[in-house]
Chain A
Amino acid sequence: EVQLVESGGGLVQPGGSLRLSCVASGFTFSSHWMHWVRQAPGKGLEWVANIKQGGSEKYYVDSVKGRFIISRDDAKNSLFLQLNSLTAEDTAVYYCARGLGWLPDSWGQGTPVTVSS
C-alpha cells in the first residue's frame, strides 16, 4: 500500500522559512516523479512543484519560483520542500503526491502551513 506521510508544517511569521518533509513507503520511491500540491483554506488545489527521479529536473509554479526549493533523497525515500520568504498567500495544507509520470496519483494527508504574525 502506498503511504506518504508529510511533516514539518506549522505557524511561521511572514518572511520566515519552513522545511517540509514527506516519507514514502509501499512503492519504489526512486522510480517516480514526486509532487507538492497545496490547498489554501476553503480553496481549490494548486500544484506547487515536482521533481524527477534522481532530482535532475525540477519545475515550479511561478508564484513560488525563487522562494521554494524541492529536493529528494532517494536513499531515504524522502521528499522535501524548503519554503522561504513566506507570505500570507502561502498559508495552505501542503500535500506530497506520487507521480505516474506527471500525474499525481496517490496523496499524503497533508501538513498545514500558516503564515501569520
Chain B
Amino acid sequence: EIVLTQSPGTLSLSPGERATLSCRASQSVGNNFLAWYHQKPGRTPRLLIYNASRRATGIPDRFSGSGSGTDFTLTITRLESEDFAVYYCHQHAYSPLTFGGGTKVEIK
C-alpha cells in the first residue's frame, strides 16, 4: 500500500498569499497518477489536479501541481476566500487507492 504523507498539517495564511502544500509517497507513484482535491466543510471533495500537474475542468490557473515519483507539490499562487479548505492528495496508480491525511489551509 502506498502511504501518502501531507505537510504541513495546517497552513495559516492571508488572502492574496501563496500556499505551498507537500505530498510525499512511500513509494513511487506509477505514471504520476497523483491527484489533488479540496473539500470545504460539509461539502463534497472537488478534483483540482490530476496526473500530478493537469488542472481539472473549470479549475482556475492559480492552482498548479508539480512533482514526480515520490514528491509532489500543490501551489496556490494567490489565495482567495473560497480556497480556504482542506486539501487531499490521492494516488490512483495502485490498489488500494490511497489518500493523504490532508492539509488544512486556514485564514490567518
Binding site for B on A (CB under 8 A): 35, 44-47, 50, 59-62, 95, 100-110
Contacts and interface: CB of A to CB of B under 8 A. Distances in A.
The interface residues of chain A, by DSSP majority, are classed as strand
B54 to A, nearest CB: 11
A46 B37 CA distance: 13
Contacts of A44: 88, 99-102
B45 A103 contact: no
Contact of B99 (A45, A59, A101, A105): A45
B98 interface: yes
B47 to A, nearest CB: 5
B55 interface: no
Nearest to A99: B92
A46 B99 contact: yes
